[in-house]
Amino acid sequence: MAEQSNYNEDSIRTLDWKEHIRLRPGMYIGKLGDGSSADDGIYILIKEVVDNCIDEFVMGFGKKIEIKVKEGIVSIRDYGRGIPLGKAVDSVSKINTGAKYDSKAFKKSVGLNGVGTKAVNALSSNFTLEAYREGKYKRAVFNQGNIVEDNEIADTDKPNGTFVSFRADTEVFKNYNYRFPYIEKMIWNYCYLNPGLSIWFNGTRFFSKNGLLDLLQNNMDNEPLYPIIHIKGEDIEVAITHARQYGEEYYSFVNGQHTTQGGTHQAAFRSAYVKVVREFFNKNYEAVDVRASIVAAISVKVMEPVFESQTKTKLGSNEIEPGGKSMNAFVSDFLKEKLDNFLHRNPEVAEALEKKIKQSEKERKELSGIRKLAKDRAKKASLHNKKLRDCRIHYNDKKNDRHLDTTLFITEGDSASGSITKSRDVNTQAVFSLRGKPLNSYGLTKKVVYENEEFNLVQAALNIEDDIEDLRYNNVVIATDADVDGMHIRLLLLTFFLQFFPDLVKNGHVYILQTPLFRVRNKKETIYCYSDEERKAAIAKLGKNPEITRFKGLGEISPNEFKHFIGDDIRLEPVLISKDSLVADLLSFYMGKNTPDRQKFIIENLRLEEDVVDEV
């Protein structure tokens, strides 16, 4: 009989605020991560501090925010009113302390629970707060939430505002580093949602004059099919157009928070948009045809919003304010008035919109037969060929109560897929095995997605044929060898995604798996090295004559070893598209008629093309 653990008064623990945050950080900032994903904790820490600065701007105080990230230290300075000096320390070190409980002071704030900066404080090895207010200032320094320096209020000639500096604690965040493109995207969104605000990041100014209109103009890969529709109302702003691309693309926000997983406001917009368009043209167009190739942004302001997690990536509120109009009615009434009026006043836009809808309808009908056959083939292939070794939990499964990260590894070859399959977490990690190199889909129509077996099966595995919101794995990881063939397979897969499912890449779901190039070991210790520099450091650490193995392919790594590389210490390199890069231009360079340039790029960007001479 198993020994029963004692359950008595000694089993009950009372944690103080910082102990609880450090013990359960996921409750406060979502996943920890290493910085390879935009929603990793180190970026949430930045966001929590900046949100307070934004709230000051919204209330009419401070038009400038300065953000610096250097050598792992983040510093943020606003020029708002400054925290009341007598409560400055409490505001960052006592849970349930803050001005945002007073709805009159912060009517439509993102942060309503008084936790944000306290979580940053508790999860930082060094946290410094300086509050400037009417010629006086207060400074305090913390370590892991414990105050180590509490200065008296003193005179200052610095302008009003708040300064926060912190270093994320390496005891909590392992081997992390900041990817500036993620921070820049966050900053741009703040600017689009707060026209007139200047945010300086490491010396570069970010600024928007026209809000969501600027957002669409700066993020579209090609010219819109008609001028962007930009309409505003009280507590709502919308920008809409259609583009030469597949799928639907949305940017949705609540009280300045980028709701990357959508929510009730985005669902209300999608439904209301179709209804208004149908009524305007007096035709019962299919919803998929009305929304096909749409690019839209929606921002709403909600009194006391309810999010589905502390990281606020999905809105759960069904009302604009407690006891007020429903979200569906609010968005629908706005579009019914403003969008309908816009289309009546701009007949050329209405004509272009209907032309696009009819074109989408025609393409859908032409593909309907092929799609049915493709779905049947996908079911049979999955059953008999076992191309997909699935996991038990899926990203958008309602049973996934904790919204766990789920991963699909796309790899090539039986040995590599076999090793990953035997090493994976069967609950959250799936494996898709490619057969040889995929087709170069550059310049082809979506018909090829259904006619090509590999592409059809990848699409079916991801469950993204109809809507990216049905995505079954939030991490799509390309796992290929670190050689010319492996790089080529990566490019072919990325071409497929960018050509037909660009949102998958734009929304940060696609990664490259980094696997070690070397194993350096002696009788006491084994070190896996991802670069020649790490190999040299390992040799220096282990001393004379360690055993050195060069991994030339994923198939050479045994399942017992592979489990180290796809578990907690997994290294993923995100596929990022910079603000200045157009998808069409990227595809033309990588997969167009420029073979010599592409070959040169592949070779120059391999981590190691040739074996390295060991230096012992």
Whether residue 40 is found in the same domain as residue 158:
yes
Whether residue 75 is found in the same domain as residue 151:
yes
Q: Which two tokens stand for residue 187?
A: 């900053």
Determine, yes or no, domain membership for 135.
yes
Whether residue 184 is found in the same domain as residue 220:
no
**pLDDT: is 238 or 563 the higher one?**
238
> With bands split at pLDDT 50, 70 and 90, how would you rate the model's confidence at 333?
very high
Whether residue 590 is found in the same domain as residue 475:
yes
- Asked if the model's pLDDT at residue 35 lies above 50, the reply is yes
> With bands split at pLDDT 50, 70 and 90, how would you rate the model's confidence at 581?
low
Give me the mean pLDDT over the 494-502 stretch. 88
- Asked if the model's pLDDT at residue 601 lies above 70, the reply is no
Determine, yes or no, domain membership for 81.
yes
CA 357 to chain CA centroid, Å, is: 30
Output the domain CATH number for residue 261.
Answer: 3.30.230.10
**pLDDT: is 591 or 81 the higher one?**
81
- Asked if the model's pLDDT at residue 315 lies above 50, the reply is yes
Whether residue 95 is found in the same domain as residue 107:
yes
Determine, yes or no, domain membership for 612.
no
Is residue 191 a contact partner of residue 206, using CB atoms and an 8 Å limit? yes
**pLDDT: is 276 or 470 the higher one?**
276
- Asked if the model's pLDDT at residue 606 lies above 60, the reply is no
Over its C-alpha atoms, the chain yields an Rg (Å, rounded) of: 26
Cα 121 to Cα 166: distance, rounded to the nearest angstrom: 8
- Asked if the model's pLDDT at residue 583 lies above 80, the reply is no
Cα 492 to Cα 506: distance, rounded to the nearest angstrom: 17
pLDDT recorded at residue 383: 46
Determine, yes or no, domain membership for 225.
yes
**Domain extent for 33:** 17-204
> With bands split at pLDDT 50, 70 and 90, how would you rate the model's confidence at 612?
very low
Give me the mean pLDDT over the 482-509 stretch. 86
Strands (E) across 311-386 are located at: none
Sign of CA dihedral 36, 38, 40, 42: positive
**pLDDT: is 580 or 406 the higher one?**
406
**pLDDT: is 329 or 102 the higher one?**
329
Whether residue 167 is found in the same domain as residue 279:
no
pLDDT recorded at residue 430: 93
Give the contacts of 351 (CB within 8 A, at least 6 positions apart).
none
Give me the mean pLDDT over the 141-169 stretch. 95
Give me the mean pLDDT over the 363-387 stretch. 71
Return the percentage of the chain with pLDDT > 70, whole number.
Answer: 84
Sign of CA dihedral 329, 331, 334, 340: negative
CA 229 to chain CA centroid, Å, is: 26
> With bands split at pLDDT 50, 70 and 90, how would you rate the model's confidence at 113?
very low
DSSP run (H or E) holding 151: none
Is residue 190 a contact partner of residue 253, using CB atoms and an 8 Å limit? no
Output the domain CATH number for residue 466.
Answer: 3.40.50.670
DSSP assignment of 196-226 equals: T-EEEETTEEEE-SSTHHHHHHHH-SS--SS
268-294 residue pLDDT tens: 999 999 999 999 999 999 999 999 999
CA 434 to chain CA centroid, Å, is: 26
CA torsion, points 578, 580, 584, 586, in degrees to nearest 10?
Answer: -60
> With bands split at pLDDT 50, 70 and 90, how would you rate the model's confidence at 379?
low
- Asked if the model's pLDDT at residue 132 lies above 90, the reply is yes
Whether residue 596 is found in the same domain as residue 544:
no
Q: Of 149, 175, 204, which marks where a domain is finished?
A: 204
Residue 467's identity, in one-letter code, is: D
186-215 residue pLDDT tens: 999 999 999 999 999 999 999 999 999 999
- Asked if the model's pLDDT at residue 250 lies above 70, the reply is yes
Whether residue 455 is found in the same domain as residue 526:
no
- Asked if the model's pLDDT at residue 104 lies above 80, the reply is no
Give me the mean pLDDT over the 418-426 stretch. 90
Return the percentage of the chain with pLDDT > 90, whole number.
Answer: 44
Average pLDDT, the chain: 84
Residue 108's identity, in one-letter code, is: K
Determine, yes or no, domain membership for 9.
no
pLDDT recorded at residue 609: 41
Which residues make beta-bridge pairs with 69?
A: 74
| Contacts of the segment 527-530: beta carbons below 8 A, 24+ positions apart | 528/561, 528/564, 528/565, 530/571, 530/607
Give me the mean pLDDT over the 241-253 stretch. 89
Total domains in the fold of the chain: 4
- Asked if the model's pLDDT at residue 255 lies above 60, the reply is yes
- Select, from the ranges 39-43, 201-205, 382-386, 569-573, the one with the highest average predicted confidence (pLDDT): 201-205
List C-alpha distances in Å: 160 to 63, 132, 405: 12, 5, 42
Task: From 167, 168, 163, select the one nearest 139 (Cα to Cα).
Answer: 163
Give me the mean pLDDT over the 313-341 stretch. 88
Cα 288 to Cα 364: distance, rounded to the nearest angstrom: 9
Whether residue 336 is found in the same domain as residue 442:
no
- Asked if the model's pLDDT at residue 614 lies above 60, the reply is no
Sign of CA dihedral 261, 263, 269, 274: positive
Cα 505 to Cα 492: distance, rounded to the nearest angstrom: 14
> With bands split at pLDDT 50, 70 and 90, how would you rate the model's confidence at 163?
very high
Determine, yes or no, domain membership for 538.
yes
Q: Of 139, 170, 204, which marks where a domain is finished?
A: 204
pLDDT recorded at residue 611: 43
Whether residue 99 is found in the same domain as residue 200:
yes
Is residue 185 a contact partner of residue 199, using CB atoms and an 8 Å limit? no
Whether residue 566 is found in the same domain as residue 440:
yes
Whether residue 339 is found in the same domain as residue 455:
no
Output the domain CATH number for residue 131.
Answer: 3.30.565.10
Give me the mean pLDDT over the 241-262 stretch. 87
Angle of CA points 114, 117, 122, to nearest 5°: 110
380-399 residue pLDDT tens: 665 445 688 998 888 776 55
Determine, yes or no, domain membership for 248.
yes
Determine, yes or no, domain membership for 614.
no
